[in-house]
Amino acid sequence: NAGVTQTPKFQVLKTGQSMTLQCAQDMNHEYMSWYRQDPGMGLRLIHYSVGAGITDQGEVPNGYNVSRSTTEDFPLRLLSAAPSQTSVYFCASSRFPPVFNTGELFFGEGSRLTVL
């Protein structure tokens, strides 16, 4: 089925380890983004991309890195994991970026990350 595929669903890391959360969409969407969701807080934007080769920082970018070499893929890298990065991460895509009317939003199933 068309949509956003996000892996892994669960991951446990030790402080200082690095890892990559994968995100892929097959809808030819321009806009892709990564959010983190913490208890009692709304979704917070980490990084986003408005097309292949173009990325920018969101509200909470520190400790994370992204790249967008293709339209389909938008991986999120944790460079040196810290306990404060324990969270649920969501990848999302939409046809257009929020500076326009985005169109329908599509989310991945989420990745629950625990950093010990």
108 binds other proteins (CB under 8 A): yes
Q: Which is nearer to other proteins, 14 or 99 (CB)?
A: 99
Decide: 47 and 63 in contact? Cβ < 8 Å: no
Residue 107 near other proteins by CB under 8 A? yes
Q: How far is the CB of 84 from other proteins (least distance, A)?
A: 19
Beta-carbon contacts of 40 under 8 Å, excluding residues fewer than 6 positions away, are none
- Is the Cα torsion angle 83, 65, 88, 12 positive or negative in sign? negative
Q: Give residues in contact with other proteins (CB under 8 A).
A: 33, 40-43, 45, 48, 56, 58-59, 90, 92, 97-110
